[in-house]
Structure 1
Amino acid sequence: MNTEKHNFSLVLKQSYSDLVINVGEVTLGEENRKMMQKLQREQEKVRILQAACALLNSGGGVMEMQMTNMDEHPVEMGLDLEQSLRELIQSSDLQTFFETKQQGRRFYIFVKSWSSGPMSEDSSSKPRICSLSSSIYRRSGTSVLLMDSRGAFDFLKIKKKNVNILMEEPSNNVIRQDINNLDPANLIFQKDHLEYGDILRFPESQSIEFKQFSTKRIQEYVKSVIPEYISAFANTGGGYLFIGVDDKSKKVLGCPKDIVDPDSLQKVIKEAISKLPIFHFCSSKPRVTYRTKVIDVFLMGKLHSYLCVIKVDPFCCVVFQKAPISWMVEKKKGVYNLTLEKWIGMMMDDDPDLQCLCKDFESQLSLSSGPPLNKPVYSKKGLEHKKDLQQLLFSVSPGHLRYIPKALWKELCSQHEGLEELINQQMLSFSWGTLIFSRSWAVDLNLQEKQGVICDALLIAQNSPPTLFTVFEGQDAEGQDYCIHTAFTLKQKLVNMGGYTGKVCVMTKVLHLNPQSNAEFMEESGSVMDYPWSYHLADAQQMEDLLQALVIVLLGFRSFLSDQLGCEVLNLLTAQQYEIFSKNLRKNRELFVHGLPGSGKTVMAVKIMEKIRNMFHCDTNSILYICENQPLRNLIKNKKICQAVTRKTFIAGVFEEIQHIIIDEAQNFRSENTDWYGKAKAITQREKNCPGILWIFLDYFQTSHLDDSGLPALSAQYPREELTRMVRNADEIANYLKEVMQEVRRNPPPNIPPGSLEMLPEAEWVRGVQGTLKVEKDLTQDEIVTYVAGTCKCLFQMGYSFKDVAVLVSTMDEVECYKYDLLRAMKKIRAVNLSDASGVLGDHLVLDSVRRFSGLERNIVFGIHPKTNNPSILHNILACLASRAKQQLYILWHCE
């Protein structure tokens, strides 16, 4: 079956809240398909398999086809189609992934997303994606076998693990040479001529294959056998392909000399082998190693024909017959085949090796059990699990239909007459579940907000598919498209981001609220897909599983770990962070967020900027992020979601395009006779009818100077929210930080406003994360450098690296003072990459000042003599220093 070429009769339909592929006209029914011509039957099968594979790999969806047969009664697919689908999922249970429904002459196959969870008792072999063909061949006895997806998955794992096994010691070369000399196939390979009819004294085996020239089109024949057999030998220990030997009698026949040219034949072989796709797990990246020998075959003393022998060496990695065949589908790209590199990447995708981090994090969503497009989700140990967050935010109460959040529901009803009646009418047929309101589910899903939408409400109820209601102020020609697009995005994210593995769809209903008349309801204008009953939520467990996926969708954000691990990892917001993040920005255009050290202020700043972009339809040039130090500015600038500047640049610049401003680490700003706050407020209020957003994040406990910060008086910092849940530091560091903060509260510096430190008693720490805190006193500079280098040596032996470590001093002068001594000491351990705080995301050991590292973090921090010319802010400096360390903190004091 040729499944390699894309069949352009596959059309992705755009008017549904799901991926729907139109397969075209298909003949269905067992008897009907038996009467078809073989070619037509195979072509229809190819289209169905391509669509099925694409949907399995892309979050699930629907195949739609038009029946060519005129049966009055419902018909089955046909045994050949059922068998092909079973082979695709490598399971006898079709209903796990496929369900069918016939409506008139339209036939639908509903496809659930593939997931790499256990498919059998043997849960160790689970490819991450489905494939129509792996295109990986291997030898098994005298046969050449194509590996199925599961076999290819196991083979790739072994190759990756044992990539260096074939790298032999020099002493083994003599042994290999002796073996070759005893190999009867190799003895033939060494000959220059043979006699026609000679019988080879060895049979076909795993390393030997006989082929006879069965056609006069010699070059085409060789091209056809090379990819399959050469790749199989390379993948299975090497071997010999004899072309010109009868495989039954083992007689040497060769190819008549008058129809083949030896030089041309060798050229064709070389070209065919050079085109074989290969993938390397090793760094040396060699090509396939082989030798070709064309041996003269004589008959009665005259040259009669040629025997061609190709000797193939074992290959270190993987040789393909051709590119693997595995399909995916996206709304913008349609149906497409994966490249070799993408296919390998998805097949081998695995949870990241967190090494030393694993004891501090717990998995919320593992790739080993999720759909193909999932990213791993981790949270800091001690924080709420997705189950806890679901119970807290979206609980399900059997027998009750709950409207949440209650405060938003009441606010919406007070603002829009008739809304309560309209919603209650829609809910009459539902006995229990949860109706989740939002001013814009589109914004919640990182889509752009649509004007005229009063609210969206997502219904998760028993005996119903999830349903998204959109309420408009009046008639809207694009309302249906908006609702469908939002529901489509939600369904895709529930599977591909939230990891939901059940059968799921999201239905849509558009409602219109007309103040001048009774509230009215309009059914969606597009054709409604009639999903099978299995797509309805049956019980509380299914509802909670779906809502836990929703928690990941709404609270998930790209972790800073992603840059360290080299793969995308998601973390979850805390419930406290989510409460602030979900505020109505139009009612909270200015907000002061006071956050304790390690409470996630910078994460919140990034999330809010993403929300601003979608709510106000603005680009990155309209949003400005301001902080005090350059390294933090660079970190945010690299995310490409805003303009990012330091406070000094902001004061000196003109920002005519800016509409919205986010300020971070504001406690370390200095007025320096300039009103940075007044300038920021003036910029965001230029549009009197529609002022911009001004959110300011700060922590007075980490104030690192005695100057006027330029912030308004505490009483004027209104409205104000507090982040009191500290999520960054291990237990020992958090306890030390608490003691330091208590000292700040008892003896605050004079520039910190009274009352600004009263949030400390409400502070919560994540418990149960073990760490290290060591304080060493009365050390000389040489002893400090030796201590840092010696400790790093031990840490590196435990699996840590330069990217885990930061060495922080008090001033930039001390950076220069320690730089060369530290370099010299570290080079005795290993070649060292040293960087300032701007390299915090790279594989560098960071050496910088405490102030310039503000807002950043690393697993291990060495604080060298954190002194200050102003003793009144010493504990503030210590608080800033300690809060930068996630796992281990070493504070090293000079001799006085």
Structure 2
Amino acid sequence: MEPKTTMEYNLCSLVVEPFHPDLIINVGEVTLGEHNRKKLEKTQRDQEKKRVQQAACALLNSGGGVIQITMTTEEVHQVELGLDLEGALRELIQSPDLQSFFETKQQRRFFYIFVKSWSSGPSSGDNSPKPRICSLSSNLYYRSGTSVLCMTSNFAFDTLKKKKMAAEGIMMNQSFPSKKKPQDEDPHPESHSPNQVFQTDRFEYGDILPFPESQYVEFKQFSTSNITRYLKNIIPEYISAFANAKGGYLFIGVDDKSKVLGCEKDNVDCNTLERIITESISKLPVVHFCSTQPLVDYETRIAKVFHKETLHGYLCMIQVKPFCCAVFSQDPSSWMVKGNGFCSLTPSEWVDMMMDTNPELSEDFESQLNISQGPPNCKPVYSKKGLEHKKNLQQRLFSVQPDYLQYTPEPLWKELCSEHEGLQELMNNQIFPLSQGVLILSRSWAVDLKLQEKQGVLCDALLIAQNSPPILYTILGEQVADGWSYCTQTAFTLKQKLVNMGGYTGKLFVMPKLLLLHPESNAQSLRVLSSVINYPKSYNLEDIQQMEALLQSLVVVLLSFRSFLSDQLGCEFLNLLTVEQYEVLSKNLRKHRELFIHGLPGTGKTIIALNIIEKIRNVFRCEPKNILYVCENKPLRNFVGKKGICRAETRKTFMADNYKDIQHIIMDEAQNFRDEDGDWFEKAKAITQSEKDSPGILWIFLDYFQTSHTMQSGLPCLSAQNSREELTKVVRNSDEIAKLLQGELDRVKRYPPNNIPPGSLDMLLKANWCSGVKGTLRTENNLSWQQTVSYVEERCKTLFKRGYSPKDVAVLLNTSEDAESYRKSLLRALRKINVVQVSDASDLQSDHIVLDSVRRFSGLERPIVFGILPEKTTILGNLLVCLISRANKQLYILWYLKF
């Protein structure tokens, strides 16, 4: 094992321990037991409490884990934490019920606090909702009567939400500025008197100010011990409180009876006071929701205080204006584990996590994971309406049967047992006497979790069983270097993803076990931890309900991918693969180096292509420069290229250049390839098979039904495509569009063009159409060219009033030449509704209407599509299929008369 490294931080000596299957924070030596802690000096007691509190907060926010304490005294009997430490943990979770998040155990000289992940949903015994993240203090202050109070996390959320909405409202109305800014208004009548006093530059010692303390006025006396420290302590809280509300005045040198006392001149001078105030306010952290991002607006006056015509001292007066967004007194007291490090959250990070909400999607999507109930780091997960819920997916993939332990997937289990003699006996011995649950086999759980594959690992198996924690077995054929590191890292990643991606809110630990398989005899265990942390029994899965909840989180981990809509909506969320898509992605790449994937329109071929690229990188340990993605049109090439996961080229460029660094090739939308520049298939084969002992991957995605030309494609004939998979579950289109698509596909089947192999038509018999999403379908015939322009303009005007935007719309024509001819007329019409830009599909993510040809938009999609076609069109059936399948929600087909 590699030597341990540590990362220490200024606030306290906290160490994130590496090489463990769980997050372990070592807080060093701490005195435990109420009797022992009472003997400590207050400073030491507070420091120890702070270390434990910070570690607990970091683990709560990071998926849970273990706090490791080295006890300062040898204890024969079990000891308790101590009342102050228990109080610190209760303060952190704002609940008397420690058991809901913390459990403790003493092992020899070590004391462990087991920490469950924080979650915003109600926990056992507590039905109240919680903030998105756990914090000791927000350090956002507000004014309540004459008091300054720190906002609770829930109160901070409400305040920040209102400020964000106000800032967004201001930004929307920036083109219509009012004559008088809101902060210049006088919301409180009594503010006139403070303002008049604020303009005064001379006072007599003992003067009584003509107003008392109020919501907008605070009096403070000078400290006689350390003025500098005193000012630095009070200024951040009061400036934050006034700025976050409606503003106010801070008078320093006045007692609570409104009597002016000032600060004696011998203790401080005017320049020092000015400097301290300026420095203190300039250091206040601020977070903006607005675009202008102003600084804290304040004004300072230092007035002289006389006593019988003799200068006695000074009175500090600070006027604070209302702040547009949020002013903190200091960084929030909230911590996380990041990588191998322990750190405090910045105000921006804290606000982002606190304000993170589920995106507002249309009714076409169904929530699979709602972050308002989940751990701090999880992202919302949605699926298209009509697709299977994660509970149904779990039942299909990883069902749990009463009094039965299932090995799944069964074909892989049989394949592994036939390849490795003794594996079945090994696993049966390991699992005995557990009898209910599921053992999930994989050739590499690391690859499934998007980690790199480890050479020498025969397979991994995840056991989810009753009366046991989840166990991850790694089986080796022979001893390999860093085998234990691989095993623990995979178990660690799985645990973190089950919580932070899958949204699991129960107590969780994944136990790693490394096994060596001996073909001659049996199996032996390679390694047992020398210092095993024994987790409490509450970390065992108690019943079917707990197992299924964990397995549903596993479904999210394995089947989720970043939604293409994330960039458009400006917030990250995930979608789920279908079982059919997942099964294609789960294929053994070493056994399926060449594969043809035939997919009906809208079955998610490009989604699988992007995901398989990531899997190739992890299985073969290669870089993006070693993988080539090839398609026919530039817009799709640009869309994939911007993801930075591989090199992306068009087929034409592929045929013109050399690719000495390329090992693996993915071909997408290959039905639209042509052989006019040479045999692209043979070139791809030559590149991927250049290393005969270890050929690369060549996967080709195609859909004959969307062929957009009549030339030779260069694809091998259907009978020569020996290794082939089919995607038949159509998930993209609304019901009305899907029905039209079905009709056109049936028509193509009845009257197949020459460029569709007859054998491929059988796919239609297996077609499975996802339903449940209502949409719009309109067809208009015999229009003039100008009438189509007017139709698009009027429809877009209506759609934009309903909340759609230009980035939701694509206008597609038969050819690129037609699209270019249409551009000026369309743009002239759209300017009437304030649309000033249309562009081709090369930059799909920009906020503009796409205007391009059907062919160049192949492989892409938008919610709303206008198809503008001449009455007589070559390869009509294929072109219509391609056009129809591009629209998710609404489709308008406009037939114009071409003279």
Change (3 A) 1:195 1:791: same
SS at match of 2:833: coil
- Return closer, same or farther for 1:389/1:173 CA change in 2, 3 Å cut-off: closer
Q: Residue 272 in 1 paired to residue 280 in 2?
A: yes
Q: Which of the numbers 565, 568, 573 marks the counterpart of 1:569?
A: 573
What is the TM-score with the length of structure 1 in the denominator?
0.96
Report the Cα distance in structure 1 between the residues aligned to 2:183 and 2:458, rounded to whole angstroms. Answer: 81
Cα 1:314–1:699 change in 2 (3 A) is same
Deviation at 1:370, TM superposition (A): 0.9
Letter in 2 for 1:878: L
Match of 1:648 in 2: 652
Tell me by how many angstroms 1:640 deviates. Answer: 1.2
What is aligned with 2:494? 490
* 1:675 matched to 2:679: yes
* Kept after mapping to 1: 8 A contact 2:865/2:886: yes
Instruction: Give the stretch that moved more between structures: 278-287 or 495-504.
Output: 278-287
Query: Which residues in structure 2 correspond to 1:570-649 (within 5 Å)?
Result: 570-649=574-653
The amino acid across from 2:46 in the alignment is E
Change in 2 beyond 3 A, CA 1:16/1:359: same
CA distance in 1 between counterparts of 2:465 and 2:573 reads 31
Change (3 A) 1:763 1:173: closer
Match of 1:353? 360
Partner of 1:430: 434
* Whole-Å separation in 1 of the counterparts to 2:188 and 2:428: 84
Question: Structure 1 residues 453, 880: closer, same or farther in 2, change over 3 A?
Answer: same
Aligned match of 2:54: 50
* 1:148-206 Cα distance to aligned partner (Å, 9 max, x none): 32332232223223447999954798995696687332232233322221222432222
Distance in structure 2 (CA, Å) of the matches to 1:585 and 1:198: 86
Runs of 5+ unmatched residues, structure 2: 1-7
Distance change (3 Å), C-alpha of 1:819 and 1:97: same
- Aligned mate of 2:242, from 211, 229, 233: 233
Which runs of structure 2 are paired with 1:28-427 in the superposition (5 Å)?
28-118=32-122, 126-163=130-167, 170=179, 176=185, 183-215=192-224, 217-247=226-256, 249-332=257-340, 334-354=341-361, 358-427=362-431
Task: For residue 478 of structure 1, report the CA deviation from its aligned partner.
Answer: 1.9
SS in 2 for 1:251: coil
Aligned residues of 1:810 and 1:850 also touching (Cα < 8 A)? yes
Equivalent position SS for 1:335: strand
In structure 2, distance between residues paired with 1:629 and 1:302: 86
Cα gap change, 1:359 to 1:671, in 2 (>3 Å): same
CA change 1:742–1:894 in 2 (3 A) is same
CA contact under 8 A between 1:6 and 1:336: conserved in structure 2? no
Does the CA-based 8 Å contact 2:284-2:327 persist in structure 1?
yes
- Which has the higher mean CA deviation after the structures are superposed, 736-745 or 113-122? 113-122
Cα displacement string for residues 56-103 of structure 1 (whole angstroms, at most 9, x for unaligned residues): 111100111111122211011111111111111111111111110001
1:419-818 residue pairs with structure 2 within 5 A? 419-672=423-676, 674-818=678-822
CA contact (8 A) 2:504 2:553 kept: yes
Does the Cα contact within 8 Å between 1:351 and 1:376 map onto a contact in 2?
Answer: yes
The verdict on how the C-alpha distance between 1:81 and 1:868 changes in structure 2, with shifts beyond 3 A counting, is farther
Q: Deviations over 1:553-576 (max 9, x none)?
A: 111111101111112111111011
Deviation, 1:889, is 0.3
Contact 2:426 2:522 in 1 (8 A): no
- Relative to structure 1, the CA distance from residue 173 to residue 884 in structure 2 (aligned partners, 3 Å threshold; closer, same or farther) is closer
Distance across 2 between alignment mates of 1:388 and 1:164:
40
Q: Deviations over 1:368-399 (max 9, x none)?
A: 11111111110001111100110000000010
Residues 422, 521 of structure 2: 8 Å contact kept: no
Q: Name the CA distance, whole Å, in 1 between partners of 2:182 and 2:44.
A: 55
**Partner Cα separation in structure 1 for residue 461 and residue 183 of structure 2:** 75
**Matched residues in 1 for 2:539 and 2:60: separation?**
16
Q: CA deviation at 1:304?
A: 2.9
- More displaced, 379-388 or 183-192? 183-192
SS of 2:122 mapped into structure 1 = coil
Identical positions, percent:
63
Distance 1:803 1:11, change over 3 A: same
SS in 1 for 2:441: strand
Secondary structure of the corresponding residue to residue 298 of structure 1 = strand
Cα distance, 1:522–1:222 mapped onto 2, change above 3 Å: closer
Counterparts of 1:425 and 1:112, CA distance in 2: 31
Amino acid at match of 2:70: Q
1:832–1:845 CA contact under 8 A, matched in 2: no
Q: Is the 8 A contact 1:125 1:154 kept in 2?
A: no
- What is the alpha-carbon distance in structure 1 between the residues aligned to residue 805 and residue 502 of structure 2? 32
Contact 2:606 2:668 in 1 (8 A): yes
Cα separation, 2, equivalents of 1:650 and 1:672: 13
Contact residue 20 and residue 488 of structure 2 kept, 8 A = yes
Distance 1:29 1:178, change over 3 A: closer
Residues 870 and 896 in structure 2, CA contact (< 8 A), matched pair in contact too: no
Shift of 1:120: 9.5
Instruction: Give the C-alpha shift of residue 277 in structure 1.
Output: 1.3
Q: How does 1:818-829 map to 2 (within 5 A)?
A: 818-829=822-833
Provide the rounded CA distance (Å) in 1 between the counterparts of 2:505 and 2:851. Answer: 46
Whether the 8 Å CA contact 1:732–1:771 is kept in 2: the answer is: yes
C-alpha distance in 2 between matches for 1:445 and 1:866:
49
Provide the rounded CA distance (Å) in 1 between the counterparts of 2:183 and 2:778. 57
Relative to structure 2, which stretch is displaced further, 616-625 or 210-219?
210-219
Aligned residue type for 2:343: Y
| Shift in CA distance, 136/96, structure 1 to aligned 2, threshold 3 Å | same
One-letter code aligned to 1:342 = E
Q: Conserved in 2, the CA contact under 8 Å of 1:244 and 1:255?
A: yes
* Structure 1 letter corresponding to 2:705: F
Does the aligned pair in 2 maintain the 1:234–1:315 contact within 8 Å?
Answer: yes
- Secondary structure of the 2:305 match is strand
Q: Deviations over 1:252-300 (max 9, x none)?
A: 1212334443344234322322221111222232222222222232322
The aligned runs of 1:9-20 (5 Å cut-off) are 9-20=13-24
Residues 480, 524 of structure 1: 8 Å contact kept: no
SS of 2:26's equivalent?
A: strand
CA RMSD of aligned residues (A): 2.1
Check conservation: 1:810, 1:867, Cα contact below 8 A: no
The answer to whether the Cα contact below 8 Å between 2:671 and 2:704 also exists between their aligned partners in 1 is yes
Residue 853 (structure 1) aligns with:
857
Change (3 A) 1:378 1:179: closer
Alpha-carbon distance in 2 for matches of 1:182, 1:207: 7
Q: How many residues align?
A: 886
